[in-house]
Amino acid sequence: MINEHFFNDRDLTSINSEMFNALVDQLDSQKIYFTENEMASFKKKFSRFDDPTSYQKKYSKSSLCSIDLKSKFAFLNLYFNRLIEATNYQLKEVSKKNFDFTKEEIILIDYDQKKWQKTKFELKKAWRGLAKNDVLTSMLAEKELDEATETIEKRYKNRLRRISQRNEEDIFSISMNNLTSYFDPHSSYFSPKSAEDFEMTMSLKLEGIGALLTTEDDYPTIVSVVPGGPAEKTGKISPDDKIVKISQVEESNSNPTDVVGWRIDEVVQLIRGKAGTKVKLELIPGKTEDFSERKFVTITREEVKLEEQAAKSRIVEIQRNLQTIKLGIIDLPTFYIDFKAWQNRNLDYRSSSKDVETILRKFIDQRVDAVLIDLRGNSGGSLFEANKLTGLFVSSGPTLQVKESNGSVRPWGDARAKQIWKKPILVMVDRYSASASEIFAGAIQDYQRGIIIGQKTFGKGTVQKLDNLSSGQIKITESKFYRITGAGMQSKGIHPDITLPSTWDIEEIGESSFDTALPWDEIKPVRFKKFSMRPTLISQLKDEHLTRVDQSPNLQYILDIRKRYETQKNKEVISLNLTNRRIEKEKRQSWALDVENKRRASLNLKTFYSYKAMKDFNDAKETEDDDRDSRIDVDNDYLLNEGMEILSDYAIFNQNIHLSKAA
């Protein structure tokens, strides 16, 4: 496996120690399950195995290495035993109903400041504090003590049941993924059951809600939503949202099931169901300050079909300087292709590039002045399609370069591509735009064919292959791709020409946030012909944008949320005093009401007299909009509106771009 990986010359002299550190971060980032002496003992074992004087290191650093599986399995065994011990202790403490919520106690939530406890007694103090916080948080979600206690007791019992159901395959999967992720975050091992689920997800034939889940601190957590799937179409579910309860809407006697502490496969089975039926999720918003905050989303299950992922379009007219500008918006959630039909030489196969070409020809017939391609949230798809789509705007030429693990480099492009659209183009991206999205946006930027706006993209510049094993499958990174300028996309992503406001720190996710992400590098550029773009165009567009930011209540609203996020993201402790926490919650609600009323007053809209009135209004609006497709929402998408304004400026400032291709 090591020799097949792109980064096959990595220094392995400290592999065991580094893998152990990664395993600790994965299993016990809060430092609540092991004592200082236990950690020192295990570190010594793993470092001894990495000793360059030992027989294991007689090989060169790029050759074979020895992995200390014995110590790893011993650590995993201790971890699960300690997890059972801690949970039983917490269950006992919760059942006493003896927490004093008037005491001025705190718990440290800044993991970087935490230290390993010296004794088991100190560990138990930490376990009790966390249990107290769980009950308190449940009470803040409008529950009395008895109901909150019952909820947390069930949650801990579910955790114990989940641990008891772990088998050798689960332990082996943890160990193997600890090894594969040492080389990069996208290399992974799939057990036979995981491989089956992965294939089902990739085929999109599963009747469910179209969301990928993982487990994070006992909470089933949304990793991503499938473009065009039921969850994505609600417009209410986001990555990092945590699932607390699941209800089967059609069952009249179905009480919500608390799934915190459940095995992830059990959660998935509860969410899956017959197409047409509904499931209701109780979620903790991903970017919330307090886990007592909730949102409720009802989703109609259905099979995710290719048609649901298809590019959608809309024409919007904007009045500028006594003239009407026609803007064409294309929302592209993924780079899709019907591989089976394509392989069978069916000329009517469905693909993103063919659908976009059809839309562009309609735009031409309707005399559209400029096009906006929305790639926000587009995590990629077919690289072949990224090539084809680029050709619709720049004609023939290279699109990217691919470097194999053996060092060979080859350019990708479409020699037969024909430029369909010759007027201005603007591409919107965000931190969730990845892979094929970055290839397309990077090519448009490198050719100077259009303007890129939004936030820095994800930075995934690698390609993986899937190999079958005697038991399960393994996914390995085998190559990296680069821009035609030679610059890598890995880790750095695509930097937009104009950065739009965001409500949170985008550096918290993305390729650069992974400890084992492959490094950025660059290779030689390839020859390509740029379009001519006036040197001052981008700065002129940026100036107009910044003026609007200062004057726009909606964009100022986004900036206000970001300011709040910045003041809260480095919070180090939380109080275990119920009165203090209620005051904090009231302050958050008061702030949310004030910032929304500030926006509405600036727009001459009726303001809300209370937080509850605002919440009721939003809930009612969401109910009204349940049957509305959330894509291309020009009424409520403030960044899309600003994108249209920037594109309007672009159309006015640079109307002759389609005549200016350089020799």
Between the alpha carbon of residue 578 and those of residues 101, 106, 136, 144, 588, the distances in Å are 5, 11, 7, 12, 15
502 a catalytic residue:
no
What distance, in Å, lies between the first and last C-alpha atoms of the chain?
Answer: 46
Quote the tokens at residue 534: 């006036």
Question: Which residues are within 8 A (CB) of 280 and not within 5 positions of it... i.e. 6 or more apart?
Answer: 246, 247, 248, 249, 256, 296, 297, 298, 299
626 a catalytic residue:
no
Query: Given its phi and psi angles, is residue 181 left (phi above 0), alpha (psi -120 to 50 degrees) or beta?
Result: alpha
Torsion of CA 464, 225, 175, 42, to 10 degrees: 120
Q: Which helix (DSSP H) or strand (DSSP E) does residue 72 occupy?
A: helix 69-96
Quote the tokens at residue 510: 């993305």
Quote the tokens at residue 152: 């947390």
Q: Is the dihedral of CA 451, 455, 456, 461 positive or negative?
A: negative
What whole-number distance in Å separates Cα of residue 233 and Cα of residue 225? 9
Query: Given its phi and psi angles, is residue 166 left (phi above 0), alpha (psi -120 to 50 degrees) or beta?
Result: beta
41 a catalytic residue:
no
H helices present in 264-414, as ranges: 264-271, 339-343, 352-365, 383-394
Question: How many Cβ atoms sit within 10 Å of the Cβ of residue 302?
Answer: 18
Quote the tokens at residue 250: 């059609």
Question: Which residues are within 8 A (CB) of 291 and not within 5 positions of it... i.e. 6 or more apart?
Answer: 137, 242, 284
Question: Catalytic residue among 446, 497, 637, 649, which?
Answer: 446
SS3 376: coil
Q: What is the CA radius of gyration of the chain?
A: 27
Quote the tokens at residue 67: 């992995």
Q: What are 579-588's contacts with CB under 8 Å, separation 24+? A: 579/101, 579/102, 580/104, 581/136, 581/140, 581/290, 581/292, 582/140, 584/290, 585/140, 585/290, 585/292, 588/289, 588/290
DSSP letter, residue 206: -
Quote the tokens at residue 533: 């773009």
Question: Catalytic residue among 236, 403, 456, 460, which?
Answer: 460
Greatest Cα pair distance, the chain, in angstroms, is: 81
Q: How many CA atoms lie within 13 A of 329 on its CB side?
A: 25
CA 209 from chain centre, in angstroms, equals 17
Question: Catalytic residue among 191, 435, 491, 648, which?
Answer: 435
What whole-number distance in Å separates Cα of residue 99 and Cα of residue 298? 35
Q: Which residues participate in catalysis according to the annotation?
A: 435, 446, 460
